Amino acid sequence: MIYFYNIHNKDAILEEGLNVESREGSLATGWDLWTEMMRYPDRFEPEYFKYYSCVATIDCETLNEAFHLTNSEEDFANNYYGKVTPLTGNGSFPSMSVGDIVLNDDGFWMCDKYGWTELKELNEWRAENMAKTEALRADILEDYKEENCECGISEKTGKWSEKVFESFGCNCGGA
């Protein structure tokens, strides 16, 4: 699965200090950031990611296939063969272009003028946050295990499940 991110809210007012020039001399907007990323994708900063929205999921294997699916008239005419799921309120999404970001199992990538550029800083940020989330989940699970028996822990997910507990009940005498 590939997640397709785009600067969807072109009217968003950007924070000051992001070094994005406004077209009209006023505060920079999402439109200005989108224009900047289209022209100069190498200027991407991790702070810009908060202005991106996930606009679609794409069920495919490669970044190039994701690009093709969102840019092909034939695929559009055939409803993307069921491989593209829009996540916007109106059910539409833009074609993928320079400055757009995708997330796959290998991390975040930016669509560049020629191919793809790995967003290393964004991937490092993601890895740190995933590690923090996993540590927090483990702490919560340990607290739960101390307060409740372990009979409802799913072997598949490692998480406590009401469904598992209801299906098999308690056989450890802990509850």
Measured CA to CA, the distance from residue 10 to residue 28 in angstroms comes to 10
Q: Note the pLDDT tens digit of each residue in 49-64.
A: 999 999 999 999 999 9
| Confidence (pLDDT) at 80 | 65
pLDDT digits (tens, 9 = 90+) for 101-132: 999 999 999 999 999 999 999 889 888 888 88
3-class secondary-structure state, position 171: coil
pLDDT computed for residue 27 by the predictor: 84
Q: How far is CA 62 from CA 2, 3, 38, 100, 105, in A?
A: 8, 12, 22, 15, 10
pLDDT score for 96: 92
What does the pLDDT read at residue 74?
77
Dig out the tokens for 42 from the structure: 């190498």
Q: What is the pTM of this model?
A: 0.72
Phi/psi at 134 (5° precision): -65, -40
d(CA 44, CA 42): 6
Whether the Cβ atoms of residue 81 and residue 17 lie closer than 8 Å to each other: no
The Cα–Cα gap between 152 and 166 comes to: 8
Q: Which residues of the chain have pLDDT under 70?
A: 17, 75-81, 144-152, 154-155, 160-162, 164-175
Listed by start position, the domains of the chain span 2-118, 125-168
